[in-house]
């Protein structure tokens, strides 16, 4: 009899051998410095794949090593002991090195499949990385239907579009795809099964306010091209932008309410409130379903789109239960915003934050410090804007909070291409991500909560030295934390 499956692996049937184990790699080796917080967002993409595979009769599991803060050797031992037929990785730029280290240490009888943003951006380099030698398939883009095809051993990977591997004869990367197979690239999102929450470690979960909260995906793809972003349209040419129908979204919300008592929802996709037509359609559907009577929800939005929404539409969203909008503000300087191709300007930012918070909608603003070519004055504009937005929203019923990051380049993005075109950097330099420990000066609650986002390649891209960028970042994060604590 084989050993019982490690309890940290979530799967549809622990008594059956695993066809596929999807591994969310830890962001760093937690044997060296343990995790300092215990919350992470759920791995919805992996859960979508596992759910779809289970619906097709396969036993797929998820090991969220990041959420458990697993050391590298433990992660490797857990996967090898589970001995799945396939092991799958979601490769993101900062997690590539750790994923490759895990893949290299797996039992060679386990076939490896790769997906995620980094796999899409650098497929040839990854397939020829000796640590990835057991890779039988690298899948570009949305995985559900192609992963299930790959799990059928008798089916041919060469039939699948956007699937790559190393040809044993040519010893070079090749890709598949037969005529009529393009539908795999954009699975019909209204026909996908709702995510089986068994695969997620902390979702649904009881939030600080006592509500049971769940994360959802309402749309796939983003039509914008912000220069730093891994989700930018030019970095994802394979994606067709699709929004789920309101009826489909509402059905999942009601199911989560009935099954788990969920009354708070967070839409993590790039652009839930990112297109005027979508905002209007959702508002009408949520009004008809009286969603605001029982639920609150948070979503991402675009400042330029919300700026064009009339007051009555914003009022309707409040009645629908809209609680918080996350906005990519990025910079307080017009030249930098233009450089990013953000299609917004500082007055528009002030206007939208004011209109939302005046209605009681909270705003979470994302900012980036240390952009390529950013001057000290331009960075100071961003710091000033954060303070201005805090002050402006002090008297409003809705809160404004700032989430600040250090710039880091992601392959495939417009900013990456610009940096490479300067001839000053090699891909290895731009990919040398390291965890930055901003919690090291004694216990610092402000930095703990965001420890997993403090990543850097340690290069000064603008006029402001990296140490000063971090100093501003830590200052703003501490000020933000103090404001939350004092509320
Ligand atoms: C929610 C989210 C998170 C969550 C959950 C992450 C996760 N592992 O799923 C949290 C907060 C934990 C997170 C953390 C990080 N994230 Co994040 N995240 C997102 C966000 C906003 C949405 C992802 C999502 O759920 N999409 C919906 C699902 C359905 O799509 P999906 O996850 O892409 O999965 C599909 C495909 O990618 C594919 N797929 C996924 N996994 C696999 C595995 C296999 C084997 C196969 C074949 C296919 C496959 O099939 C899935 C279903 O169609 C994206 C933005 C975006 N557009 O993707 C950024 C994004 C993916 N994150 C990013 C980054 C960098 C990170 C961090 C590294 C942050 C950091 N510290 O620097 C960490 C990594 C932590 C980790 N180990 O996962 C970048 C990636 C950029 C890049 N080129 O690498 C993105 C694109 C954001 C950005 N602005 O650029 N993130
Ligand atoms: S930052 Fe937001 S709007 Fe810009 S490309 Fe990324 S997901 Fe789209």
CATH number where 309 lies: 3.80.30.20
Q: Which residues pair with 90 in a beta bridge?
A: 115
Residue 193: inside a domain, yes or no? Answer: no
The CA distance from 468 to 472, in Å, is 6
Model confidence at 447: pLDDT above 80: no
Say how many Å lie between the CA of residue 442 and the centre of ligand 1. 31
The CA distance from 322 to 341, in Å, is 28
- Atom in ligand 1 nearest the alpha carbon of residue 143: 50
To the nearest whole number, what is the mean pLDDT of the chain?
93
What is the domain extent for residue 246? 203-486
Name the closest ligand to CA 344.
Answer: 2
Question: What would the pLDDT profile of 303-355 be if each residue is shown by its tens digit?
Answer: 999 999 999 999 999 999 999 999 999 999 999 999 999 999 999 999 999 99
Say how many Å lie between the CA of residue 333 and the centre of ligand 1. 28
CB 151 within 8 A of CB 86: yes
Say how many Å lie between the CA of residue 42 and the centre of ligand 2. 20
SS3 content of the chain, % helix, strand, coil (to 5): 40, 20, 40
Verify cis geometry, omega within 30 degrees of 0, for the bond prior to 219.
Answer: no
CB 90 within 8 A of CB 126: no
The CA distance from 457 to 429, in Å, is 7
- Atom in ligand 2 nearest the alpha carbon of residue 330: 1
Residue 279: inside a domain, yes or no? Answer: yes
Residue 189: inside a domain, yes or no? Answer: no
Judgement on whether residues 43 and 100 belong to the same structural domain of the protein: yes
> What's the mean pLDDT in 239-257?
95
Token duo for residue 468: 């000063």
Q: Residue 134: give its domain's CATH number.
A: 3.40.50.280
Cβ-Cβ contacts under 8 Å for 400 (sequence gap 6 or more): 353, 357, 362, 363, 365, 389, 390, 392, 393
Judgement on whether residues 116 and 20 belong to the same structural domain of the protein: yes
The CA distance from 214 to 256, in Å, is 8
Token duo for residue 233: 């349209």
163 Cβ below 6 A of ligand 1: no
Residue 153: band (very low, low, confident or very high) from pLDDT cuts 50, 70, 90 = confident
Model confidence at 130: pLDDT above 60: yes
Q: At what angle do helices 72-82 and 96-104 cross, to 10 degrees?
A: 50
235 Cβ below 6 A of ligand 1: no
Residue 332: inside a domain, yes or no? Answer: yes
43 Cβ below 6 A of ligand 1: yes
Judgement on whether residues 169 and 229 belong to the same structural domain of the protein: no
- Atom in ligand 2 nearest the alpha carbon of residue 274: 3
Model confidence at 32: pLDDT above 90: no
453 Cβ below 6 A of ligand 1: yes
Which of the listed residues 180, 211, 235 is the one where a domain comes to its end? 180
Name the closest ligand to CA 413.
Answer: 1
Residue 1: inside a domain, yes or no? Answer: no
Region label for 214, one of left (φ > 0), alpha (ψ between -120 and 50) or beta (otherwise): beta
Residue 411: inside a domain, yes or no? Answer: yes
The CA distance from 420 to 407, in Å, is 16
CA 444 to chain centre: 25
Judgement on whether residues 244 and 165 belong to the same structural domain of the protein: no
Judgement on whether residues 418 and 350 belong to the same structural domain of the protein: yes
Judgement on whether residues 247 and 378 belong to the same structural domain of the protein: yes
- Atom in ligand 1 nearest the alpha carbon of residue 222: 57
> What's the mean pLDDT in 59-87?
96
Judgement on whether residues 141 and 209 belong to the same structural domain of the protein: no
- Atom in ligand 2 nearest the alpha carbon of residue 232: 5
Judgement on whether residues 176 and 209 belong to the same structural domain of the protein: no
Question: What would the pLDDT profile of 470-487 be if each residue is shown by its tens digit?
Answer: 999 999 999 999 998 765
CB 129 within 8 A of CB 91: no
Pick the residue with more confidence: 441 or 230? Answer: 230
Total structural domains within the chain? 2
Q: Which residues line ligand 2 (CB under 6 A)?
A: 222, 224-226, 229, 231-232, 270, 302, 328
Which of the listed residues 180, 215, 235 is the one where a domain comes to its end? 180
Picking from 337, 368, 369, 339, the residue whose alpha carbon sits closest to that of residue 350 is: 337
The CA distance from 143 to 147, in Å, is 6
What does the pLDDT read at residue 320?
98
Provide the sign of the torsion angle of the four alpha carbons 302, 304, 308, 311, taken in this order: positive
Judgement on whether residues 227 and 89 belong to the same structural domain of the protein: no
Position of tokens 């008798």?
Answer: 154
Residue 159: inside a domain, yes or no? Answer: yes
Judgement on whether residues 58 and 163 belong to the same structural domain of the protein: yes
The CA distance from 410 to 420, in Å, is 11
Residue 273: inside a domain, yes or no? Answer: yes
Residue ID of nearest Cα to ligand 1 atom 75: 27
Judgement on whether residues 211 and 108 belong to the same structural domain of the protein: no
Judgement on whether residues 243 and 392 belong to the same structural domain of the protein: yes
- H helices present in 41-172, as ranges: 44-55, 65-68, 72-82, 96-104, 117-121, 123-127, 144-151
Which run of H or E residues covers position 205? strand 205-206
Whole-structure pTM value: 0.95
Model confidence at 442: pLDDT above 50: no
């Amino acid at each position: 009899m084989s050993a019982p499956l490690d309890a940290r692996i979530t799967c549809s049937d622990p008594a059956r051998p695993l066809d596929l184990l999807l591994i969310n790699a830890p962001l760093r080796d937690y044997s060296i410095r343990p995790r300092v917080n215990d919350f992470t967002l759920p791995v919805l993409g992996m859960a979508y794949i596992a759910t779809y595979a289970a619906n097709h009769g396969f036993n797929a599991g998820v090991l969220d090593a990041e959420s458990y803060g697993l050391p590298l050797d433990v992660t490797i031992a857990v996967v090898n002991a589970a001995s799945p037929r396939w092991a799958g990785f979601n490769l993101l730029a900062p997690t590539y090195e750790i994923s490759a280290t895990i893949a290299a240490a797996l039992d060679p009888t386990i076939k490896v499949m790769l997906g995620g943003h980094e796999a899409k951006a650098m497929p040839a380099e990854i397939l020829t990385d000796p640590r990835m030698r057991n890779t039988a398939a690298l899948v570009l883009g949305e995985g559900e239907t192609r992963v299930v095809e790959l799990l059928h051993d008798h089916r041919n990977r060469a039939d699948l579009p956007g699937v790559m591997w190393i040809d044993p004869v040519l010893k070079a990367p090749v890709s598949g795809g037969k005529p009529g197979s393009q539908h795999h690239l954009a699975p019909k999102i209204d026909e996908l099964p709702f995510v089986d929450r068994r695969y997620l470690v902390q979702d649904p979960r009881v939030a600080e306010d006592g509500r049971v909260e769940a994360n959802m995906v309402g749309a796939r793809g983003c039509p914008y091209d912000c220069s730093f972003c891994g989700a930018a349209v030019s970095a994802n040419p394979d994606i067709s932008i699709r929004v789920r129908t309101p009826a489909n979204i509402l059905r999942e919300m009601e199911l989560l309410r009935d099954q788990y008592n969920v009354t708070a929802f967070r839409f993590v996709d790039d652009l839930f409130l990112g297109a005027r037509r979508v905002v209007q359609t959702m508002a009408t559907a949520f009004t008809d379903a009286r969603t605001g009577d029982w639920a609150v929800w948070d979503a991402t939005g675009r400042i330029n789109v919300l700026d064009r929404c009339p007051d009555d539409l914003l009022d309707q969203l409040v009645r629908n239960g809209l609680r918080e909008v996350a906005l990519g503000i990025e910079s307080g300087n017009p030249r930098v915003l233009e450089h990013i191709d953000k299609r917004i300007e500082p007055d528009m930012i002030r206007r939208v934050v004011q209109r939302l918070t005046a209605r009681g909608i909270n705003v979470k603003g994302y900012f980036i410090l240390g952009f390529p070519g950013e001057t000290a004055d331009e960075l100071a504009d961003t710091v000033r804007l954060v303070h201005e937005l805090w002050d402006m929203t002090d008297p409003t019923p809705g809160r404004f909070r700032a989430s600040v990051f250090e710039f880091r380049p992601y392959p495939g993005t417009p900013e990456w291409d610009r940096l490479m075109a300067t001839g000053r950097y090699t891909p290895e330099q731009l990919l040398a991500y390291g965890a930055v420990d901003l919690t090291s000066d004694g216990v610092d609650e402000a930095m703990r909560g965001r420890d997993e986002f403090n990543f850097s390649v340690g290069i000064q891209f603008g006029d402001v030295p990296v140490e000063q960028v971090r100093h501003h970042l830590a200052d703003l994060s501490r000020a933000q934390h103090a404001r939350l604590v004092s509320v």
